[in-house]
Amino acid sequence: MLSYDTIKKVLFKFEPETAHNIAELGLRAVGTCKLIKKPMEKENFICDEKLTQEIFDVKFVNPVGLAAGFDKNATMVKSMPAMGFGFTEIGTMTPRPQDGNAKPRMFRYPEHKSVQNAMGFNNEGAHTVLKNLKKVYPFEIPVGANIGKNKITPEEFALSDYKTLIKKFEGTSDYLVINISSPNTPNLRDLQNEEFITELFTMAKSLTNKPILLKIAPDMEPKQAIELCNCAVNAGAAGIIATNTTIDYSLVPNCQDFGGLSGACLTEKSYSLFKEIAKELFGKTVLISVGGIITGEDAYKRIKAGASLVQVYSGLIFEGPSMVKKINEEILELLEKDGYSHISEAIGADLK
């Protein structure tokens, strides 16, 4: 098989969004071809009892998942174990199909191992995504569904969009994620307020017993983020995912002045906010960390800070499919180095 360095040289000749579409075609093929999928899964998928956890009454064989934004329409779920992932998160889906923002809307910064996207929840809509998901669910690894409101839906009717999506996807996912933290839908982050969060999760809990998590932005002050997360948990949220992309454009010189930055440039900012949130919420709810995680050391820092699970996305663009395997292997090495026999002993170790 071709090395990822060779594949990357070809992909990087294309615009980032075109390269993503090519990668999607490749991964869809992997998912349907056992002759490719099985060897890749044997090579990349780490299955070790030291990493296995039961969360949301679901088995997570390893703690590294794919973050939302990569598999928007649930077309690549079958290939995720071949990439090494212990779980995957599809979306963000909206009730109605939408094209997203004007192109170009994705940019890569190889020297910073970072990307910038202003996609704007481009997806084929809940009806089509649900059809795709029903073909594979239940799946061999847990599947989360990340949901958001349509761009044309006024703020005062946002609750209705989330209600529609929860009812559609609660039966075909292992957990749901409320996305009100993307910077690419106008005024979406305005919904990051206690009144809306309380109303939203109260409504959600009346619709389903499925775990529903809140994903937050990295650009809030820690005090505000903690208050918001506490509000969500008190209203019934089963967990917090921190963080989404950032609009702190000082992190990458000469980047665009729109869209959200992710990748290595976000590592410290995301970790810093996650750590503050975990100080308050660890032990009260499930915490998932995402944002600039590229190495096993990055992941292990989040685990010791309180994360039960971690997610990656942008790093894959630069590191390729072996990245997840390396992260899991490094976590195992670090667990052994610290004298832990299971990942549960390391989770929140810095807080104990």
74-113 pLDDT, tens digit each: 999 999 999 999 999 999 999 999 999 999 999 999 999 9
Percent of the chain scored above 90 by pLDDT?
A: 98
CATH code of the domain in which 166 resides: 3.20.20.70
Does the annotation count 322 as an active-site position?
no
Tell me the C-alpha to C-alpha distance, in Å, between residue 14 and each of 9, 26, 147, 156. 9, 15, 29, 40
Nearest partner of 72 among 30, 19, 14, 125, judged by Cα: 125
* Spatial separation of the C-alpha atoms in residues 52 and 72, rounded to whole Å: 27
- The structure's pTM equals 0.97
Domain of 194?
Answer: 4-351
> How many domains are contained in the chain?
1
Q: Is 26 helix (H, G, I), strand (E, B) or coil?
A: helix
What pLDDT does 1 receive? 63
Residue of 182, 289, 308, 314 with catalytic role:
182
How big is the chain by its Cα radius of gyration, in Å? 19
251-300 pLDDT, tens digit each: 999 999 999 999 999 999 999 999 999 999 999 999 999 999 999 999 99
Interior angle at CA 248, CA 212 and CA 288, nearest 5: 25
* Summary count for the chain: helices (H), strands (E): 12, 13
110-158 pLDDT, tens digit each: 999 999 999 999 999 999 999 999 999 999 999 999 999 999 999 999 9
Would you state the structure tokens that stand for residue 2, as one six-digit string?
Answer: 């071709």
Model confidence at 2, in pLDDT bands (50, 70, 90)? confident
What pLDDT does 318 receive? 97
Indicate the DSSP class of residue 346: H
